[in-house]
Amino acid sequence: MISIMFFILYGVHAQESTPGTKVIPDARLYECFDSLFIETQLTDNPDIILYYNYFLDHSYYLTDLPPKEDFIATLKSIDFPDDEDLTNLNVLKYKLELSNDKITYYRLGTSDRVIVFYEGNEITRRFNGYMVSIGRYEPKNDNQEPGIKK
């Protein structure tokens, strides 16, 4: 969780809520954070909730293990129950160590599945693009980060 929080603090800017826009926390956030934290963020910094919502669905992809034994031996494993719902996976429930500049792989328990996390910088870049697409950030100019709407 600490590593994920780093991405949030590093790449996401605080801002006032855009008038007429209501931020709704993903229900999976309540499995990881207490209600007071979520409600405080909704009031003080709703973009953090938007980031967590985005992270839950767009920070990774699932794939089958490649048949390379040497690669399999290097993978960290998530203590992942066999009956976990992969369609509504809550990656925030796991202690993950993600990198800003390289892809991170975790094996899902003892299964033949791998969860592949994008680089933290890539997640932030995509999130900023998402924020532009929903009108919360101004489109970036040449050689600038997206600007926060005032």
pLDDT, tens digit (0-9, with 9 covering 90-100), for 60-106 = 999 998 777 777 778 888 887 766 778 888 999 999 999 999 999 99
Mean pLDDT over 21-35 rounds to 95
End-to-end, the C-alpha distance of the chain in Å comes to 30
Give the span between the Cα atoms of 14 and 35, in whole angstroms: 20
Contact criterion met (CB below 8 Å) for 23 and 17 = yes
Q: Which domain holds residue 40?
A: 2-148
Token representation of residue 120:
């933290």
> What pLDDT score was predicted for residue 78?
87
Mean pLDDT over 41-52 rounds to 96
pTM (two decimals): 0.79
Percent of the chain with pLDDT over 90: 54
Contact criterion met (CB below 8 Å) for 97 and 128 = no
Residue scoring higher pLDDT (87 or 50): 50
Q: For the chain, what is the domain count?
A: 1
